[in-house]
Structure 1
Amino acid sequence: MFNRFDFDKNKCQLTGSYAEDGYDRYWHTFTRYEDGTGKEKVFFVEYLIINPTMGWDEVKRGRGVVPSYTLVRCGAFAESIMERYIPMSEVESYTVDRQMRIVAGDCFLSEHSMSGRTEDGAMSWNLRIRKKVAYNAGVINGSLARKVKALDTFWHAQGMITKYCGVVNYKGSRYDVAFDTSYGYADKTWGDEYPEFCLWLNGSRLRSRLSGKELSKSGFAFAGLKPVLFGKGIRDTIVGALYYEGVEFDYNFARPSLISKTEYVIDDSDSALKATIVMQNCTSVLALCLKCDKNDMITPAYETTFGENAYDKLYATAVAKGRLKLYTKFKGALVLVEDMDVYNAGLGYGGTII
């Protein structure tokens, strides 16, 4: 069962050697509607801490410099990306009842709320967070794997289906966020290296082509990467799951009993990004295709823990559209369970050479 919240995985991991050679990144996306017009806008907010003990009163960043700072990055897909760098002397990370808290200047993040602003006030947010369904990958990022740092990068989706409520002020306009129409997502990655290859697909705004109904209790999250296990690279792989109206469909190579298999195709043109994955386990097959215009994507930059560019290029969005088909296996044949249209989906792709 993958729908298990894990507060130990979701708290800040930058202790021990990670304190001077590690990063911890929290990612949130959600949909808002402009007061008076109902116009849809999809926002993102990111909190990233890197090498916290390597700097204090000053932000350390730039090529060839060992970085140390907290980065709060935010904006609206297809419109803007804003960054605020905060020195570690203004940052505190702690837990309350095992649940994480991060305070960075006047920016705040916890399991149940987040708030903050850009330095110039162009964007601010004050939101409540309700994480409804989690994707817990199990032993691949379990306590033992984390203790021995088995992987160079870890992923945990505490909010595969997340609902947000509150207010965002963006470039002079107010956007109200409602739980039922936020179609949110929240996850985190951490480690001492960024993967050479990364791919992610997630979404919770799904509509059935069979019934015509919105599937309000469904969502998916997949992460593709080329992991390094104890210093040895593993082939490109994808892990993740579909939560379909209360039923779990898991595709995870770290759970051998599932007999999971992965296929994917990336179509990266000058104008658009298209990702197709086919996930298979011993009882089901999932086919997912997402596409987004490059004009609706952002290209965030990341620094490695030693001060180099983590990716030659990285594309990210939460306004992708596509289609998802789910089949079960029965007597050697595939039986269609659901055929879904996907909206407001997360799609990201990057690498050292792409």
Structure 2
Amino acid sequence: MNKNGYSLTKKSAKNGYDWWWHSFIATHAVTGELKPFFIEYYVINPELWKGEIIFGQKEENKINHRRPCYAMLKVGTWGDDKVQLHNFYNITDFHASKKMLDCRIGTNKLTETHLSGSVVVSEKERDLYPERMSDAGSIQWDLTIEKKVKFDVGFGSSKLMNLLVAFEMYWHVEGMKCELQGEIVFNNEKYLVHPETSYGYQDKNWGSDYTNPWIWLNCNNFVSKISNTKIDASLDLGGGCPKVFGISLNRRILTAFYYQGEFMEFNFSKFWKASRQQFDTHEDETYFYWDVISENSKHKIEVHFKCDKSNMLLVNYESPSGEKKHTKLWNGGHAEGSVRIFKKENGNFRLIDELEGSLGGCEYGEY
């Protein structure tokens, strides 16, 4: 099993979703403004296909308990002009390989090294079809991608666990830190994507439902507060309350941190690493906050990030059951904060660096 390939089985494809998420920073071709974007290739309940797209949020489908079935391109941006745009396709227009990342939705294409496509939603379509849960606008992209750092969460996303449909939601991070290059056009404004300032990220999720709460934070743009220099580093954490064979575990997260060539992992499923984590996500009128302390036998990191709610989206997904359980799933691309890094020496943790991060991706939702 290639974990970044198509992951649904014949069974789970009747009650499941699979998606490939990309987020990155682009530079306005004229003004030089740095702007974050996201692009997602998505499919839900493909084995239920009977010749027509089914939208679970359409009133008649809610009444008749018809579950969603379609392929989708989900793209957007954050900030003052934030949007999430959805175009939908027949399952017959969807193809994805289990052996490698090779996905096609209509004429939109995705591999490990390249992604291209376009999404256009008119104001009329937005207003006539609320079940599509989309804003109005347009985005076109043609990008190459080089993945520098990988985070494999381990046995929990293995072929066996996938065949057993053990987890409600699976996670794999093929591109915890990526460099993208190319061009993206948002509402007829051209942006250039440069490898050194793309701060890119690519992961995938699949399963039968979405975790609750839903927690995610990534950042690839760091400067050392100690040396005042740019640092080759990457932070990624995600989780909430995983379900295994229908049984809810306690609230927990998985965290990975890459620093100057060294990879640190804090993963409860890899017991030999002796990981311990404390985390809290909360909000006030202005910000969402992610506060995490992660420790294993060799390292400790202290993470304190926030994101301005005015720049964030309430991102829309419906479950394979047809329900829209997450009605306040906050998603952002302007997370900022600090990471303090410690290394254990002679039984004690010694501070080795303190970083400031910005332009990070983030998510939090609970129902």
Q: Does TM, normalized by the shorter one, top 0.5?
A: yes
Aligned residue number for residue 3 of structure 1? none
Q: Provide the secondary structure at the position in 1 that maps to 2:349.
A: strand
Residue 164 of structure 1 corresponds to which residue in structure 2? 180
Choose which of 47, 50, 55 in structure 1 pairs with 2:41. Answer: 47
Unpaired runs of 5+ residues, structure 1, are 1-6
Match of 2:290 among 268, 275, 293: 275
Contact 2:211 2:239 in 1 (8 A): no
Aligned equivalent of 2:305: 290
Matched, 1:67 2:65: no
Verify the 8 A CA contact 2:9 2:163 in the aligned structure 1.
no
Equivalent residue for 1:258, pick from 225, 249, 273: 273
Are 1:25 and 2:40 an aligned pair?
A: no
Note the residue ranges of structure 2 that are not aligned, 5 or more in a row: 122-136
Structure 2: distance between partners of 1:22 and 1:226: 18
* Aligned partner letter, 2:196: D
Q: Secondary structure at the match of 1:19?
A: helix
Q: Could you tell me whether the CA contact under 8 Å between 2:10 and 2:47 is conserved in 1?
A: no
SS in 1 for 2:250: coil
- Could you state the TM-score of these two structures normalised by the residue count of structure 1? 0.93
* TM-aligned CA deviation for residue 57 of structure 1: 3.5
Shift of 1:137: 1.2
Aligned to 1:104: 105
* Structure 1 segment 189-204 matched on structure 2, within 5 A: 189-204=205-220
Please give the alpha-carbon distance, in whole angstroms, between the structure 1 residues aligned to 2:208 and 2:72.
17
| The one of 77, 88, 91 aligned to 2:91 | 88
- Counterpart of 2:28 in structure 1: which amino acid? E
CA deviations over 1:186-214 (Å, ceiling 9, x no partner): 10110112112110111111111111111
Would you say how many aligned residue pairs link Structure 1 and Structure 2?
A: 343
Match of 2:114 in 1: 113
Pick the aligned partner of 1:145 from 161, 164, 167: 161
Please state if 1:244 is matched with 2:259.
Answer: yes
- Which residue identity is paired with 2:219? G
Q: Please give the secondary structure, in 1, of the residue aligned with 2:239.
A: strand
CA RMSD of aligned residues (A): 1.4
Corresponding residue to 2:189 among 156, 169, 173: 173
User: Deviation digits for residues 54-90 of structure 1, max 9, x if unmatched?
Assistant: 1254221133230001121111112222111112122
Between the aligned partners of 1:194 and 1:81, the Cα distance in structure 2 is: 19
Partner secondary structure for residue 81 of structure 1: strand
The superposition leaves residues 134-162 of structure 1 with CA deviations (integer Å, 9 ceiling, x where unpaired) of 00111121222222122111101100001
TM-superposition CA deviations, 1:206-264 (whole Å, max 9, x none): 1111111111x321211122111122110011112111010111101111111111111
Q: Distance in 1 between matches of 2:325 and 2:116?
A: 27
**1:204-353 maps to which residues of 2 (within 5 A)?**
204-215=220-231, 217-351=232-366, 353=367
Amino acid paired to 2:291: T
Partner of 1:38: 32
Residues 126-145 of structure 1 correspond to what in structure 2 (within 5 A)? 126-145=142-161
Quote the offset at 1:350 in angstroms: 0.9
Change in Cα spacing, 1:333 to 1:94, as seen in structure 2 (3 Å) is closer
Aligned equivalents of 1:14 and 1:148: distance in 2?
Answer: 11
Letter paired with 2:182: G
The one-letter amino acid paired with 1:12 is: Y
Greater Cα offset, 7-16 or 225-234: 7-16
Cα distance in structure 1, aligned partners of 2:326 and 2:77: 22
TM-score (norm 2): 0.90
2:171 to 133, 137, 155: 155
C-alpha offsets along residues 293-315 of structure 1, whole Å, 9 cap, x if unaligned?
11111111111111001313101
Amino acid at match of 2:279: Y
* SS of match in other structure, 2:300: strand
Provide the rounded CA distance (Å) in 2 between the counterparts of 1:56 and 1:337: 58
Report the residue type matching 1:84 in the other structure: N
C-alpha contact 2:308 2:334 (8 A) present in aligned 1: no
